[in-house]
Amino acid sequence: MHPDTHLRLHHQRAADLHARAAAYAPVPRPAPQRALRTRLGWVMVEVGLRLAQHPPARPARIA
């Protein structure tokens, strides 16, 4: 078989398969919203971790 003919048949077959597969594609669902309580809990954890960090070391001031 000539390479150009083989390539043309490949593209045609691939287009046919893509068209058939599109009929079975799942419908995307919106992501479920997390509960307010869960989001608030993680925000509190983040704030607590930031507060627990040690402050940067400062050089001693001699007056």
pTM for the predicted model, two decimal places:
0.39
Q: Which residue has the tokens 């058939």?
A: 20
Q: Which residue has the tokens 């593209």?
A: 11
Average pLDDT of each block of 10 consecutive residues along the chain (63 residues)?
89 94 83 81 92 80 75
**Is residue 63 a part of any domain in this protein?**
no
Sign of CA dihedral 30, 35, 36, 39: negative
**Is residue 59 a part of any domain in this protein?**
no
**Is residue 60 a part of any domain in this protein?**
no
Which helix H or strand E contains 36, and what residues bound it? helix 36-52
Would you state the pLDDT for residue 36?
84
Total domains in the fold of the chain: 1
HSE of 25 in the Cβ direction (CA atoms, 13 Å)? 10
**Is residue 49 a part of any domain in this protein?**
yes
- Ramachandran region, residue 27 (left: φ > 0; alpha: ψ -120 to 50; beta: rest): beta
User: Residue 15 belongs to what domain range?
Assistant: 3-53
